A = this chain, B = another copy of it.
């Protein structure tokens, strides 16, 4: 899936900071060093477009070197050398990030984890997996499923994202409601810091109160402190029963009422509560092949509820209770799919939105967290502000307060004007209602100068202290996460 790139020049000119002169330029002697520690096929110097260009095609770096270590010791040798030589590094996993965090900005060396893709062990008795950072999420999940477990997170990019990148960005996705965040599920990490030190924190215990729990600082640090090389992760059991229902709803107020009832009646088996507005369904029908209107009539809002449980009979009884309570009341209409294919079609309606809204023009996407009272209010306010010149769409994981908001501008001449209006309004709204400027996508290059909307000067100063403790030369993923001084 490659999204449209009509205005990439605008975006890169907005977001690209100047090269930091403190970093050295890559010399022939540096190349000789890398050639002395890595065989030729682990050093890539040509055709680097894929490594330099991000997933949505708007962030494009200028790296001339990609290193692909096979072992933690090779990672250590590379980082130790780069720290000494002040060569900047951009760690890269599956390069599926959406905020420009996973590609170089200037000439940073790309440190790709793609060769470190071994699943070391699934411990069936303890319910844990130990693997390298370059394992692809979907493949790992399949291997866990063969042993009766699942990986605790699931997200759209699962076919190409790496679990190391998931940890570095604290990726969340659809099922946080049921299994919790990666802070709740990662038991241990192996990390190489920006000083080239190896931190082996691979404890497999769910209870281990032996000093500061260092791994949490690296979860979500976006490669700015070091590189995650190995992970030990708690695995929930594979559900024996899965159900899905797709609802048409007349008001956002009723969406929230359905959420409340679902938590009450479905209780411990609810695993996803996804929301989308009519605009997102229309965009998907129009731009994505094979997507059809789910109901005969349109509804302003749609809700997808998923359950995952251990007993099909009990789970279906709970779902019946919920539907009896809401259909004809808070929900206008509902589909209970009869087979896997129908389920997939309904999930598809939810999963293709990002692709659909990016097709008809230049697309601004926001990934924010809001309290329920502000959740859809912000979408309506943006729609009123921008008007007919753009398509404003809202959808997301309403069960955990995470809204995806997209504004698609068909005419490129309107892009700059709308961008200015949007950012003015959005960030002051978020500041006012104490929303988060990034729910799950992270800060990266895109949002670094907005960080102070969600974080206080004291918090940012504390983050800098931590950065300085683990990456004193500042070589790890520069120009990302931190605002300009």
Contact = CB atoms under 8 A, between A and B. Distances in A.
Contacts of A465: 469-470
A458 B237 contact: no
Interface stretch (A39-47, A85-93, A194-202): A194-202
Given A183-B183, A206-B401, A401-B206, A214 B463 contact: yes
A181 B181 contact: no
A434 B211 CA distance: 16
When all copies of this chain in the complex are counted, the total is 2
Interface residues of A, number: 83
Nearest to A186: B183
B439 A211 contact: no
A473 interface: no
Interface stretch (A286-294, A333-341, A448-456): A448-456
A401 B314 CA distance: 30
A462 interface: yes
A242 interface: no
Contact of A267 (B237, B397, B463): B237
Given A268-B269, A314-B318, A465-B469, A170 B125 contact: no
Nearest to A448: B211
B310 A208 contact: no
Nearest to A236: B268
A300 B451 CA distance: 58
A465 B214 CA distance: 11
A441 interface: yes
Given A180-B184, A199-B459, A220 B209 contact: yes
Given A180-B180, A201-B459, A207-B400, A267 B310 contact: yes
Instruction: Give the 6 A-B residue pairs with the shortest CB-CB distance, closest first.
Output: A267-B310, A216-B216, A184-B184, A205-B369, A207-B439, A314-B314
